[in-house]
Amino acid sequence: MTDILLHNLDPVISDRLRRVAETRGWSLQRTALHLIETGLFAVEAEMAGRFEDHDSRALREAIEALEGIPSDPGFAMIGRAEPKDAPVRRAAGPDLSGLELLEEFRPDRDG
């Protein structure tokens, strides 16, 4: 493993590094290595979410091409038009429509 030497480290950074080491019970070297690795992973993850220039250009061109498609009453309404046989919206609350089925199981109150 390569040794890491940090010269002219800002006192605030040095203090923060020392506090993390003390809190974790680690040496300064282990703490510095952990923080460098963690920071690299975070930066690499951030970079992975970005498009390369040629991908950005291709996406931009595709969006521009789609924006240039003229609207028509059919294609443009896909996913936006209400279906002709749309279900009727019911009022909020419990569904009591099946209660009449319980009548046949009700005990005879006349006898």
pLDDT band at residue 30, thresholds of 50, 70 and 90? Answer: very high
Q: Amino acid letter at 32? A: A
Q: According to the model, what pLDDT value does residue 11 have?
A: 92
Six token digits for residue 87: 């279900």
Whole-prediction pTM value? 0.42
Q: According to the model, what pLDDT value does residue 52 have?
A: 77
Residue scoring higher pLDDT (60 or 88) = 60
Most confident stretch, 15-24, 45-54, 87-96:
15-24
By the 8 A CB rule, do 35 and 17 touch?
yes
Q: How far is residue 67's CA from residue 22's CA, in Å, rounded to a whole number?
A: 57
By the 8 A CB rule, do 61 and 51 touch?
no
By the 8 A CB rule, do 39 and 46 touch?
no
Q: How far is residue 6's CA from residue 31's CA, in Å, rounded to a whole number?
A: 13
Backbone angles phi, psi at 35, to 5 degrees: -70, -35
- Tell the burial category of 20 from Cβ atoms under 10 Å away from its Cβ (0-12, 13-18, 19+): middle
